[in-house]
Amino acid sequence: MAETGTPTNESAAGAQAPAGGRTKDEVALELMRFITLQTGYGKSPQSSAGFSGKPGTRSAEEHAEALLELFQRCRQVVNQEG
C-alpha cells in the first residue's frame, strides 16, 4: 500500500539507522542493558551476614535517575563519530 507521508518516530527524531536497521537509541539501550547485566547494577541489594562496605538503601527515584544518566552516557558514546 502507499505511504501516507506521516512521519514515523525514527524520522521525527532524526535518528539514523545503523547497519541492521536499528536506530542509535536502540543500540544505546542495548549497550545500557549489557552494562547493567554485566555489573549487576539492576539487582536489588542482598542482605548478607556480617558487615557490608556499602549501605543498600537507594530509593526508587535515585535508581531511576541513575539509569537515565547511564542511558544518556550510552547515547553519547553511540553518537560519537570517528
Domain ranges of the chain: 21-35+61-82
CA distances from 35 to 23, 48, 57, 73 (A): 19, 24, 21, 11
Residue 33: the pLDDT is 93
Q: What is the pTM of this model?
A: 0.58
Considering Cα of 11, then 16, then 21, then 24, what sign does the dihedral take?
negative
Residue 56: the pLDDT is 63
CA distance 65 to 44: 15
In this predicted model, what pLDDT tens digit does every residue of 7-59 receive, in sequence order? 444 444 445 555 577 899 999 999 999 998 898 776 666 555 656 556 666 78
